[in-house]
A and B are shown apart, each in its own frame.
Chain A
């Protein structure tokens, strides 16, 4: 018996391929910090599970997130500067908030973090992305603002903002060969995000293959089904029994629910600890995980155009409905055309002051 042999309990465990990983988290997009707040609600895994090494096989994780950081000001930003210089290697960049178009005006800034010591002016969020993206092992866009533009990229917006992939390019790959990973949701469902982080950490550790993503760069196991497919009110739908007023336990498609064409697992998973959600608890699905959000779902409280056909023909025309839905789903899976990085504002707002 070799004395060097590992104790029996450790024989299947592998040391992570990378001992330590940093997570550099930019919340300074045009957002609300709601995704950072959301992840503090996660329990599968929780933020402290990941940071305190409570899950086997993970590298040691150092988190640099402004909502949770111990440090302030330059003490905090030193990690940003190290990352930019390639001295915080490896790190995963998390981006929260939509990316404004800083090219549509003469001067000033829409979004910034920290002060440039040379000029005394704020360092724009876009400049940080330009500095950090080439050095990052991978980038996660957290929440619908960062993934596709979201609320702040609504028609008529003054900032010309967009999703991260619109800004960096949909074909962007990190120096390690990873595409952008999009975890949409407004805000992001807490466990959806932490589970994606966990997967990527396993991948970094050499314990998991390339993360499976769909065309919109979403993890397939989280966004591969529709709201409707996971909704416990779908039985009412099948019976053609629809709610006529809010507060009813029946199917609410006639009241504005877009569940049949929206890629999201929230009714199935609940919001946290299996509690809450959207149509499963009486809240119409407004499509907040989708590239077409919010414009293609507004006004939210009107019956979606597809629902009318479906609700009157349910049962009899199953196949036809599926085909129609696929069309609608393809439409709402596309962003509106005004979300782009060109040096022009095409949202419909016509500024005279910049």
Chain B
């Protein structure tokens, strides 16, 4: 039996004037997202939100019958900003299915590539896409009072980042003309060069394979990477205090801003960076090698760590329908009845999913999106939890902090925080940053965690370079292990895409793909109301959001809603639109969603 796990925000309201406000498309994200809201301007909050995606491509359908070795090349094309996360996750699933363990050096090369991806992607998203929501032009248009205050507010860490006032930071974030905007864009290129050193091409890698990598490990390879990495390290020593100043200012300038984009703490992280000494890719040992990852997998509910066990995580994934353009697969084939440990596998687990598209008209009272509703079944309570990734970093840092397992010199998890060390660089001394578990899972803390995770990725990369060089210096230069594709097998891969949890689930029969279902982060975040009526995380977070914008309905930009949605780092080549309506007033008593009305 399942229940609605978060209090619904669709409770009757006393306001009579709801204004329909829609944004379609939401820009400065990857992919196609629409957000449809009803706003109560008298009481200054969002009453209802629907999230919709307008693209369907059908990977699970056209991958059937293909060679399982092709899976990582194909699935990379799911996403144009974190395609390599898909390719990597696919090779993890292939390695399990093929029973192959790559040489340690290959794992360090993949870890270095993926670390560069986090460094690049969080950087460009934070400072070239999200940052625009905090830039001078935007703040002036939405909250002129706040901008006036920013002009008068000294940046507490101005000595570290070079901007005297908060308004100076905002000016530097103006698109294309802002100095920090352009510096960040340039930095996003250097980190992509680091990525290309390890994985060949960005964003669809050329050198990843099941069994390892084709990258040629030379002294030059790691030198070229390390030199760039240290420039990024110096950059981050300025960026962390810059963002702390900017985000802290919003709490100060707009009391109550912590409510923007806030939702119950329901965070998921599937773990990242395999440890080659422990990871043998067998399902039977998955619990152990999952806990040895350098970002710890975990589910955090109401601030408590529920599990760090990848087997537990895997078995309780459920794909629900309810508001999506698909037929149920109850009568389709059950591909996997039990996992390799003998545990039963549910019909709504990705291994057993059949994708049956049914294109139809969009109806917000019925079916309205191409995104399905992934949930995690909490066996303690019987709830199907609408977990979110918070855009990735907040969940990764939270799970890693609570688990207390990571301790690699550059990074130490304390059980309540994560400490990260950056060594001396050209012009700045060594620094320690500490990410502490925040009071809320909200827009500002999701954004702040993103900056801190950029440091985490850099610190981890410093460790990986050391480990890779040790292999190289010891003469262990093999980067690929041979394998044979079995006639029958199953596999799963767990990884963290930049914006959160990523899993791939494959079933092989007669040496071909019989079923393949990838679950990227955005379906977890951008999904619609499920069959039990539980809204997806964007919907839930936006429905919670108070309005701080100074504009009324006629000039409304929806900036607080934009900040809420973008804090999740939407990436919807399967996903969401925002369309600014004409501000027409609805009679709430005519809206069946609101139940009893006066």
Is B188 in the interface zone, CB < 8 Å from A?
A: yes
CB distance from B520 to the nearest CB of A (A): 11
- Report the tally of A-B residue pairs with Cβ distances under 8 A: 298
Interface residues on A, range: 35 or more
| Chain B residue with Cβ nearest A108 | B359
Given A109-B54, A353-B357, A158:B197 Cβ within 8 A: no
Task: Determine the residue in chain A with the shortest Cβ distance to B53.
Answer: A112
**Interface contact A110-B55, CB-CB below 8 Å:** yes
How far, in angstroms, from A31 to B31 measured CA to CA in the complex? 9
5 interchain pairs, CB-CB under 8 A: A32-B83, A32-B573, A107-B360, A186-B77, A245-B480
Residues of B with Cβ closer than 8 Å to A?
22-32, 34, 54-58, 61-62, 64-67, 69-70, 73-74, 77-81, 83, 106, 124, 128-129, 132, 137-138, 175-177, 182, 185, 188-189, 192-193, 195-197, 199-207, 209, 211-217, 224, 325, 327, 356-362, 477-480, 482, 557-558, 562, 573, 577-582
Encoded as 1 (CB less than 8 Å from any B CB) or 0, chain A from 279 to 300 comes to 0011110101000001000111
Please pick, from B27, B196, B212, B359, the residue contacting A105 in the complex, using a CB distance under 8 A.
Answer: B359
Task: Report chain A residues within 8 Å CB of B362.
Answer: 108, 120-122
- The residue that B69 contacts in the complex, of A28, A245, A301, with Cβ under 8 A, is A301
Listed from nearest, the 7 A-B pairs whose CB atoms lie closest are A283-B206, A34-B80, A108-B359, A276-B196, A282-B214, A32-B80, A247-B479
A159 within 8 A of B: yes
Q: Which residues of B lie under 8 Å from residue A111 when comparing CB positions?
A: 32, 54-56
Which residue of A72, A108, A109, A122 contacts B578 across the interface (Cβ within 8 Å)? A72
Choose, from A5-13, A35-43, A310-318, A327-335, the stretch at the interface. Answer: A35-43
- Given contact pairs A278-B201, A353-B356, A112 touches B54 in the complex (Cβ within 8 A): yes
Task: Take A48-B176, A110-B359 as given contacts and tell me if A272 and B189 are in contact as well, using a CB distance cutoff of 8 Å.
Answer: yes
Return the chain B residue nearest A151 by Cβ.
B77
Q: Is the CB of A247 within 8 A of B579?
A: no
Question: Is B357 in contact with A187, judged by CB distance below 8 angstroms?
Answer: no
Q: Besides the contacts A158-B61, A246-B479, what 20 more A-B pairs have beta carbons closer than 8 Å?
A: A32-B31, A32-B78, A33-B31, A33-B80, A36-B30, A38-B203, A40-B188, A48-B185, A73-B579, A114-B25, A114-B579, A152-B58, A152-B62, A154-B74, A187-B204, A246-B212, A246-B214, A252-B214, A273-B189, A282-B200
The residue in chain B whose Cβ has the minimal distance to the Cβ of A143 is: B80
Contact indicator B214/A247 (Cβ below 8 Å) = yes
Given A48-B176, A278-B201, do A72 and B562 touch, yes or no (CB 8 Å)? yes
Q: How far is A213 from B61 in the complex, measured between Cα atoms in Å?
A: 35
Taking a contact as CB atoms under 8 Å apart, the answer to whether A247 and B213 are in contact is yes
Contact code string A91-118 (vs B, CB < 8 Å = 1, else 0): 0000000000000010111111111010
A157 within 8 A of B: yes
Q: A31 and B80 in contact (CB under 8 A), knowing A75-B580, A298-B70?
A: yes
The residue of chain A having its C-beta at the shortest distance from the C-beta of B194 within the complex is: A275
B216 touches A158 (CB 8 A): no
B80 contacts A158, C-beta separation under 8 Å: no
